[in-house]
Amino acid sequence: MKKFEQSQLLASLPKQFFATLVEKVNSYVQQGYDVINLGQGNPDQPTPQHIVDSLKKAAEKPQYHKYSPFRGQIFLKDAISQFYEREYGVVLDPEKEVAILFGGKAGLVEIPQCLLNPGDVALVPDPGYPDYWSGVELAKAKMAVMPLKTENSFLPDYSLLSEEVLNEAKLMFLNYPNNPTGATATEKFFQETVELANSSNICVVHDFAYGAIGFDGKRPRSFLQTEGAKETGIEIYTLSKTYNMAGWRIGFAVGNPSVIEAINLLQDHMYVSVFSAIQEAAAAALLEDQEPVNKLVDMYEARRNTLITSLNSIGWSVEAPQGSFFAWLPVPEGYSSEEFSDLLLEKAQVVVAPGAGFGEYGEGYVRVGLLTSEDRLREAAERIGALNLF
């Protein structure tokens, strides 16, 4: 069979670090091991039934069997606007300040292509979500990293950014509650972000994927709640985590009208919007009963407490995350994050994600997902404890 060479663009994309992890895990599963997989980021609960029922009814509508409007259904944009006003007190123009996305990831990868030219600079958090890197590479732009360190509560320290970098930067990615660290942002930090974005003419893209998941009675802040935020950037929200709709591929971007128009323009050339029945179900998710969301957050908090208590009881000194469904745990001395992850898989059949996969400053940590039952989390801690590493 003739083999066609891939383009230089595909060859330039970052290597998928976690594809290797998946291969390792699958090899153990195929050998019959009882693997506890805490390395994933895939919600383990079903979509609430009323959302599924909405999709079933909507799928029968003949008008939805045709092409959707290019820029999405206005009823979903109206629902998004109502959701943001209800949840965050943020008023949005549904026509000019809302863009429908094929999941949050699509928007995050698209945005550098919308705003950056070859050689332009994007500020990215390190550790951070690897698909930020993919979008920047597709735009042939450059990255400048903002280290997230424990001594600064895993928030970027803007004072460390050089004048040269600030002059060249056109885009900044932020993500709170944070993947992978589980940190949350303060009102003061977002105010500082708006001030920096204004003074340096940088567009802020706040990845709000875990916006519903905050612990200890503290509700995560939307970037757009900050005065001036809408003028300086956008927020990207996905229904994947809040409503367990990861497989549905539906999300949205909200905020600065010029950025929303750029996203819509790019998508005009790539898609004909999301299946309208999914858009109707998404509107139901945003506007109807929110009790499943409250129960979901309570469940993640209970899992968090079980995991952290169990790990500390085996001598692994770890801190509880403030939000998201991840915990960010220090690796014991003498191991790299990948070596430690390999050891846990080989000796305990427990999967964790090596911090190095999230960037240079992720080294020294592993990410653990709260995406299995409390019993399995306890069992994972017991298996690790039996290795006598702590």
Which one is predicted more confidently, 2 or 206? 206
Q: Which tokens go with 383?
A: 């298996």
Query: Model confidence over 177-211: pLDDT tens digits?
Result: 999 999 999 999 999 999 999 999 999 999 999 99
Give the domain extent around 377: 8-46+292-385
Q: Are residues 296 and 161 in the same domain?
A: no
Express each pLDDT in 47-92 by its tens digit. 999 999 999 999 999 999 999 999 999 999 999 999 999 999 999 9
pLDDT number for residue 41? 87
Tell whether 146 and 191 lie within a shared domain.
yes
**Residue 1 within a domain:** no
Structure token digits, residue 133: 């890197």
Nearest CA-CA partner of 240 in 106, 113, 70: 106
Counting residues of the chain whose pLDDT is more than 70, the rounded percentage is: 100
pLDDT of residue 324: 98
Kindly state whether residue 3 falls inside one of the protein's structural domains: no
Query: In this structure, is residue 304 part of a structural domain?
Result: yes
- pLDDT, one tens digit per residue, over 138-163 is 999 999 999 999 999 999 999 999 99
* Closest listed residue to residue 307, CA positions, set 293, 292, 327, 285: 327
Question: Rounded to an integer, what distance in angstroms lies between the CA atom of residue 41 and that of residue 21?
Answer: 13
Look at residue 315 in the predicted model and tell me its pLDDT.
Answer: 95
In this structure, the answer to whether residues 83 and 145 fall within a common structural domain is yes
3-class SS at 176?
coil
3-state secondary structure (DSSP) of residue 133 = helix
Q: Which amino acid is at 197?
A: A
Say whether both 79 and 159 belong to one domain: yes
d(CA 102, CA 114): 16
Tokens 């735009």 map to which residue? 139
Over range 368-373, report the average pLDDT.
97
What pLDDT score does 245 carry? 97
Q: Residue 375's pLDDT is what? A: 97
Tens digits of residue pLDDT in 231-274: 999 999 999 999 999 999 999 999 999 999 999 999 999 999 99
Residue of 367, 370, 364 whose CA lies nearest to 149: 364
* 10-58 pLDDT, tens digit each: 999 988 777 778 888 899 999 999 999 999 888 999 999 999 999 999 9
CA 339 to the chain's CA centroid: 25
Residues 112, 178: one domain? yes
Q: At what angle do helices 104-115 and 257-270 cross, to 10 degrees?
A: 100
Q: How many residues does the chain have?
A: 390
Whether 127 is covered by a domain: the verdict is yes
Q: Looking at the structure, do residues 183 and 313 belong to the same domain, yes or no?
A: no
The answer on 329 and 315 residing in a single domain is yes
| Residue 317 to residue 310: CA distance in whole angstroms | 10
The residues pairing with 366 across neighbouring beta strands, listed in sequence order, are 329, 354
pLDDT of amino acid 40: 85
Residue 344 belongs to a domain: yes
Q: What is the dihedral of CA 121, 125, 129, 134, to 10 degrees?
A: 10
In a domain, 84, yes or no: yes
Residue 364 tokens, joined: 């020294």
- Judge whether 90 lies within some domain: yes
Tell me the C-alpha distance between 94 and 91, whole Å.
9
- Statement to judge: residues 37 and 54 lie in one domain: no
C-alpha 254/C-alpha 260 separation (Å) is: 7
What is the CATH number for 71? 3.40.640.10
Q: Specify whether 152 is located in the same domain as 177.
A: yes
Burial of 26 (C-beta count, 10 Å sphere; 0-12/13-18/19+)? exposed
Task: Tell me, yes or no, whether 260 and 370 share the same domain.
Answer: no
Of 287, 312, 337, the last residue of a domain is 287
Among 287, 312, 345, identify where a domain stops: 287
264-318 pLDDT, tens digit per residue, is 999 999 999 999 999 999 999 999 999 999 999 999 999 999 999 999 999 999 9
Q: Is the same domain home to 314 and 327? A: yes
**pLDDT for the residue 263:** 98
CA distance 75 to 287: 11
Q: What is the pTM of this model?
A: 0.96
**Same domain flag for 101 and 247:** yes
Q: Report the CATH number that the domain containing residue 348 is assigned in CATH.
A: 3.90.1150.10
Distance, CA of 303 to chain centre: 19
**pLDDT confidence tier of residue 378, bands split at 50, 70 and 90:** very high
Query: Which residues have a Cβ under 8 Å from the Cβ of 371 and sit 6 or more positions away?
Result: 38, 40, 41, 42, 43, 44, 325
Query: Which of 233, 266, 287 finishes a domain?
Result: 287
Instruction: Indicate the number of domains in the chain.
Output: 2
